[in-house]
A = this chain, B = another copy of it.
């Protein structure tokens, strides 16, 4: 065999030359590799509330002979028909949705909603194109865009993450003036219990966004990531999706949902719902080339859970659980005295994350003393700069409450607070 030193040189593609290892992969690897390192970073769900019985029951049923649309055989590239219908019902069942707006022909199943986003972006963007994002936004999306040579440009948001319509208008005018209009290919919103801010977009805010875009004649595709929508704690977030809001009628729309976070991450079933027929065709073509269909068996398991009306009960039980976990994390941050050190956050109303903001001058980046000290002390978090398209500011952190058992969650929070005190 050739020794590593004498590896022949490969001329990689532009993507291949410029791509950087995704931070999420590193975070997941660290969390999985070292149980002593308590991870407030990886957005895992809690092993304690995985739907073991439901998966066992339907996995058994679906291996029996004579199932409709044999689940152990290949399925359609677009995904199982009945699952697509039922997934439309899941979206339509949220507050304010127009049930009649949903059509299973516009739904497609993917390997997690990440793949749906990737496919949609591949269909839209060339190197150097622009996707508008919130500040902060989902860091895995930002990394993915960078990996495809796409520029993420942040829409001005206030400290709490609310979009500033006037500043957004100014940004768009500026892009226009710089001759970039045709490069702006999409807007990406994480509207429900945003990863990382845990903030949800209000209806008024979405309406304002639509108005700014329409006023400037920017009928660009809007991608709404609703991965955490089902994970509200007490009440669902009131704002309907962009699919059901008449203000977004004039836009090509993609809604991203998933059964990973709210059901089982290990089954990796997500979906996209695309209102623009031509865009959908492109997405499905690319999916046909990438894998010609996601794991059929897993889709069938989710389909059966939904068909039997068992999804709502599962969600009800995990909502309580995750509300409690968020509570535990927050209580520990308060008890440790973070507020007195000038740290701020909004109490989350759903999701798996608390987004904390240290005093402005604090540097929490991966290479910072703070972060390295945390790793020494055995606790990991996602540095907030990764969630901003510009890589700034540096004083925020994403703390995930979902994965760790309660006692270790407390311990992780204590370690984090201890570093904050030490560095004060």
Which residues of A are in contact with B by a Cβ distance under 8 Å?
Answer: 1-2, 4, 7-8, 10-16, 19-22, 24-25, 28-29, 32, 42, 44-45, 47, 50-53, 55-56, 59-60, 63-65, 69-77, 101, 110-112, 114-115, 118, 122-126, 129, 140, 143-144, 147-148, 182, 185, 219, 221, 249-252, 260, 264-269, 275-279, 281-282, 284-286, 288-298, 300
A4 to chain B: closest CB distance in Å? 6
Residues of B within 8 A of A64 (CB): 52, 56
Are B13 and A123 neighbours in the complex by a CB distance under 8 Å? yes
Are B52 and A266 neighbours in the complex by a CB distance under 8 Å? no
Are A59 and B50 neighbours in the complex by a CB distance under 8 Å? no
Residues of B within 8 A of A289 (CB): 19, 22, 114, 118, 140, 143-144, 147-148
Are A7 and B277 neighbours in the complex by a CB distance under 8 Å? yes
8 Å CB contact of A282 from B16, B125, B295: B16
Tell me whether A182 and B11 are in contact in the complex, defined as CB-CB below 8 angstroms, given that A25-B292, A266-B296, A290-B290 are known contacts: yes
Are B297 and A147 neighbours in the complex by a CB distance under 8 Å? no
Are B124 and A288 neighbours in the complex by a CB distance under 8 Å? no
CA distance A267 to B168 in the complex (A): 45
Residues of B within 8 A of A8 (CB): 219, 250-252, 276
Are A13 and B118 neighbours in the complex by a CB distance under 8 Å? no
Are B268 and A295 neighbours in the complex by a CB distance under 8 Å? yes
Residues of B within 8 A of A73 (CB): 44-45, 47, 50, 265-266
Are A249 and B1 neighbours in the complex by a CB distance under 8 Å? yes
A199 to chain B: closest CB distance in Å? 23
Are A298 and B298 neighbours in the complex by a CB distance under 8 Å? yes
Residues of B within 8 A of A148 (CB): 289
A64 to chain B: closest CB distance in Å? 7
Are A140 and B292 neighbours in the complex by a CB distance under 8 Å? yes
A397 to chain B: closest CB distance in Å? 21
CA distance A118 to B267 in the complex (A): 22
CA distance A7 to B53 in the complex (A): 44
CA distance A35 to B412 in the complex (A): 57
Q: Which of A12, A286, A291, A296 has the most CB of B within 10 A?
A: A291
Are A126 and B14 neighbours in the complex by a CB distance under 8 Å? yes
Among residues of B, the one whose C-beta sits closest to the C-beta of A144 is B289
Residues of B within 8 A of A124 (CB): 10-13, 16
8 Å CB contact of A74 from B265, B276, B278: B265
8 Å CB contact of A72 from B55, B284, B290: B55
Are B125 and A13 neighbours in the complex by a CB distance under 8 Å? yes
A95 to chain B: closest CB distance in Å? 19
A299 to chain B: closest CB distance in Å? 9
CA distance A267 to B101 in the complex (A): 32
CA distance A277 to B2 in the complex (A): 12
Can you list 10 A-B pairs, Cβ within 8 angstroms, ordered by A?
A: A2-B250, A16-B286, A24-B288, A24-B292, A32-B69, A72-B267, A73-B266, A147-B286, A266-B296, A294-B295
A36 to chain B: closest CB distance in Å? 17
Residues of B within 8 A of A56 (CB): 59-60, 63-64
Are A252 and B123 neighbours in the complex by a CB distance under 8 Å? no
List 6 tightest A-B contacts by C-beta distance, closest first.
A22-B288, A59-B59, A72-B266, A16-B123, A56-B63, A268-B295
Are A297 and B264 neighbours in the complex by a CB distance under 8 Å? yes
Are A63 and B70 neighbours in the complex by a CB distance under 8 Å? no
